[in-house]
Structure 1
Amino acid sequence: MCGRFVLTLDFKVLMDILKGRFHIEDLPDHHQYEPRYNIAPSQPVLSVIDHRQQARVGYLKWGYIPSWAKDEKIGYKMINARSESIDTKPAYRYGFLQRRCLILSNGFYEWKKNGRHKTPMFIHLKDKKLFTMAGLYSVYYNQAGEKISTCTIITTQPNTLMTSIHDRMPVILDEASEQQWLDSQIKDPVYLKSLLKPFPSHLMKAYGVSSLVNSPKNEHPDCIEPFQETLF
């Protein structure tokens, strides 16, 4: 699964990337943006969607709530969607064909089991650049009539690097695939599922970090610093 990630880019750097890759000129509520070092479920995550054949960027609440859900608390259980069943599971079938998104990140956390203990690991691209994770989004109206836009991150089988850490990993898309995933005109389920594959392990790096990341209350650069054991 993918339960924590980061987006630590400077605002100007981020906007330059969005302009170059998606022709996005502006970020609504740009004053809300700040580098994030420990993004957790139920929090707003910066995402790109396709709106009438034009890419748009904004915040989605992490935790997918199907439009027909009776209780919005279901979102806490739907932070990830398995790529293998995404085209058949009732909660995701519509979103898979109609409401795909890209979640922006430059690293994620996973916990590696060491006997009874778990070591938090930080995984990123070797070039430390921004990447996008494949996702789905939904528009939900709660009982008060409030609109809630939510998302889930799609996971797949682990690559060679991730195998020793966890049995799942988020679907990271290369720049060509992210354009195809975002294109709402593409509705071929076989082709779309072919995009949901493990990212090449030789382009990624992982290292241990401190237990600070265990609590989402910890939100600062120390979260991604390599863990250094002390003698005393």
Structure 2
Amino acid sequence: MADVTPNVSLVATPEAVSFLQNCQLPVQLNAMTGNPAHYDYDAEINTAITNLQGKAKESATLVARLTQDEVRTSPLKHQEASKLAGRLVELAEGTQRLLTSKAKGYMDASSDFMGKTFTPNPQREGYYLRAADWISREAKNGEGNGYKAIREAVTEDPDFAVAIYNTSHRLLGLPKEHAMDFAEKAVKAFAPAALDYIEKSQRLDELAKRYPAFIAQVRSSYFSPFELAKVRTYVEMPS
């Protein structure tokens, strides 16, 4: 039939053919749904992506076999393909929700970790005030020795780290971007795990954003809604 690419797709558009072929290739699946090996630090994510890729490859193989099915009519082939698409979409949507949830979890963990590390100790409030005063004085020396001294202080002394993290850049006499840079260096020195959590969260968010495109391609590539609609014309004959 004109609307079939044998051994590949029931929908003979270049986009559908390319997508179903890509569903058979690990490199392309990694590009579309993420490389599970990159998420081996989280067994749940690794397993979800691995299962999704396995189901995508299996489903694409079955669609390819349907193109050569000499028993089913075209509408019935598309009906079966729509079922495969529905199950794959359901799995992909579940994986996307997991990625989004995990991204939030890692970001929350980062906030908790930094909160515990940089929450001021009331008994050391005087030290923080003195540290902030010192930073503001050094800030007046500019980006030369002053900034060098601040950088060393906030990465070597926890009191200075707490001060830079919790004090407004205006009170420190620093431009906002420089104060944020010093605070980030303090986090890297005293709470490196928090930055790791942030990086993981961002990577998962970026991966989750790929999934709507993958899901849309499944829906448009596996079957034709026009062929599927013909199934409704089936007449049940009396026995």
Q: Is the pair's TM-score, using the shorter chain for normalization, greater than 0.5?
A: no
Higher-Rg structure is: 2
Greater helix proportion: 2
Greater strand proportion: 1
Q: What is the TM-score when the length of structure 1 is the normalising length?
A: 0.22
Q: Which structure exhibits the higher relative contact order, with contacts defined as CA atoms closer than 8 Å and separated by 6 or more residues?
A: 2
